Amino acid sequence: MKFRHMFALFVLVTVSLSIFTSGTVMAQSTLQKVMEERGLTEKDVLAAAKTYVPTGGRDDYVVFSSGGQSGHLIVYGIPSMRILKYVAVFTPEPWQGYGFDDESKAILAQGRIMGKDITYGDTHHPAISETDGDYDGRYLFINDKANPRIGVIDLHDFETKQIVANPFFRSAHGGCFVTPNTEYVMEASQYAAPYSHDFVPLEKFNDEYRGGLTYWKFNRETGRIEAENSFTFEMPPYSQDLSDAGKGPSYGWGFNNSFCSERYVGGIGRGRPPFEAGCSSKDTDFLHITNWKKAEELVAAGKVTKVNGAYLITMEQAIQEELMYLVPEPKSPHGCDVTPDGKFIIVSGKLDSHAWVYSYEKIMQAIADKNFEGYDPYGLPIIALHDALERSVNVGLGPLHTQFDSEDGVCYTSIYVDSQITKWNYRTGKILDTIPIHYNVGHLMTMEGDSKTPDGKYLVALNKLSIDRFNPVGPLHPQNHQLIDIRGSQMQLLYDMPLPLGEPHYAVAIRADKLHPVINYRTGWNSRNDERSPHRSRAGRERTVRNGNRVDIYGTLIRSHINPEIIEVTEGDVVSIHLTNLERAQDEVHGFAMYGQNIQLSIEPGKTASATFTADKAGIYPYYCTEFCSALHLEMQGYLLVQPKGYKAAEIQIEDGTKYTKEDYEAQVATNIATQDVINQVVGFITSHNYQDFATVVALVEDATDQLGFADEVKAKSEAAAAEGDYQNAMLWANQWWQYQVKTADLGLRAKTFLEQNGAVKIK
Which of 104, 526, 736, 741 binds a copy of itself (CB under 8 A)? It is 736
Nearer to a copy of itself, 94 or 429 (CB): 94
What mask of x and - would describe binding to a copy of itself in positions 312 to 331, judged by CB under 8 A?
--------------------
* Residue numbers 484-503 binding a copy of itself by CB under 8 A: 488, 493, 495-498, 500-503
Which of 226, 228, 587, 702 binds a copy of itself (CB under 8 A)? It is 587
685 binds a copy of itself (CB under 8 A): no
What strand order describes the sheet that includes 159-165?
123-131, 134-144, 149-154, 159-165
Region of 135-143, 256-264, 404-412, 528-536 interacting with a copy of itself (CB under 8 A): 256-264
What mask of x and - would describe binding to a copy of itself in positions 56 to 95, judged by CB under 8 A?
xxxx--x----xxxxxx-xxxx---xxxxxx----xxxxx
350 binds a copy of itself (CB under 8 A): yes
Minimum distance, C-beta of residue 573 to a copy of itself, in the bound complex (Å): 13
The CA–CA distances, whole Å, from 636 to 48, 311, 564, 625, 734 equal 43, 53, 11, 6, 18
Region of 211-219, 319-327, 611-619, 680-688 interacting with a copy of itself (CB under 8 A): 611-619
* Residue numbers 103-122 binding a copy of itself by CB under 8 A: 113-114, 116-122
- CA dihedral of residues 264, 267, 272, 277 (deg, nearest 10): 50
* Residue numbers 427-466 binding a copy of itself by CB under 8 A: 436, 438-440, 442, 464-466
- Rounded (to 5) percent helix, strand, coil in the chain: 25, 35, 40
731 binds a copy of itself (CB under 8 A): yes
**Residues 124, 186: contact at Cβ < 8 Å?**
no
Number of residues forming the site for a copy of itself (CB under 8 A): 248
Minimum distance, C-beta of residue 698 to a copy of itself, in the bound complex (Å): 12
Question: Which has the closest alpha carbon to 191: 234, 243, 149, 145?
Answer: 145
529 binds a copy of itself (CB under 8 A): no
Exposed (0-12), middle (13-18) or buried (19+): which is 199, by Cβ within 10 Å?
A: exposed
Which of 239, 339, 523, 610 binds a copy of itself (CB under 8 A)? It is 239
1 binds a copy of itself (CB under 8 A): yes
656 binds a copy of itself (CB under 8 A): yes
* Omega cis (within 30) before 625: no
* Residue numbers 740-759 binding a copy of itself by CB under 8 A: 742, 745-746, 749-750, 753, 757-759
Q: How far is CA 280 from the centre of its chain?
A: 34
What mask of x and - would describe binding to a copy of itself in positions 614 to 653, judged by CB under 8 A?
---xxxxxx-x-xxxx-xx-xxxxxx-xxxx--x-xx-xx
Minimum distance, C-beta of residue 60 to a copy of itself, in the bound complex (Å): 9
Nearer to a copy of itself, 366 or 460 (CB): 460
Nearer to a copy of itself, 454 or 606 (CB): 606
Which of 362, 401, 452, 505 binds a copy of itself (CB under 8 A)? It is 505
Q: Which residues pair with 412 in a beta bridge?
A: 403, 423
Q: What are phi and psi of 589, to 5 degrees?
A: -85, 145
**Residues 148, 509: contact at Cβ < 8 Å?**
no
Nearer to a copy of itself, 287 or 593 (CB): 593
DSSP character for 116?
A: B
Q: How far is CA 154 from the centre of its chain?
A: 10
* Omega cis (within 30) before 61: no
**Residues 243, 125: contact at Cβ < 8 Å?**
no
Strand ranges (E), 145-223: 149-154, 159-165, 174-178, 184-188, 211-219
Question: 3-state secondary structure string, 256-300?
Answer: EEEECCCCCCCCHHHCCCCHHHHCCCCCEEEEEEEEHHHHHHHHH
Region of 295-303, 380-388, 468-476, 683-691 interacting with a copy of itself (CB under 8 A): 468-476
Exposed (0-12), middle (13-18) or buried (19+): which is 371, by Cβ within 10 Å?
A: middle
705 binds a copy of itself (CB under 8 A): no
Nearer to a copy of itself, 687 or 757 (CB): 757
Minimum distance, C-beta of residue 687 to a copy of itself, in the bound complex (Å): 20
293 binds a copy of itself (CB under 8 A): no
Q: Which amino acid appears at position 248 of this protein?
A: G
Task: State the Cα–Cα distance between residues 397 and 399, nearest whole angstrom.
Answer: 6
Nearer to a copy of itself, 374 or 644 (CB): 644
**Residues 59, 82: contact at Cβ < 8 Å?**
yes
What strand order describes the sheet that includes 310-313?
174-178, 184-188, 211-219, 224-235, 310-313, 306-307
Region of 297-305, 363-371, 382-390, 563-571 interacting with a copy of itself (CB under 8 A): 563-571
Nearer to a copy of itself, 257 or 392 (CB): 257
**Residues 396, 415: contact at Cβ < 8 Å?**
yes
DSSP character for 630?
A: S
* Residue numbers 12-41 binding a copy of itself by CB under 8 A: 15-20, 22, 24, 26, 28-29, 31, 34-35, 38, 40-41
* Residue numbers 153-212 binding a copy of itself by CB under 8 A: 156-159, 170-171, 173, 190-191, 193-194, 197-203, 205-206, 209
Region of 50-58, 292-300, 338-346, 361-369 interacting with a copy of itself (CB under 8 A): 50-58
Q: Phi-psi bin for 62: left (phi > 0), alpha (psi -120 to 50), beta?
A: beta
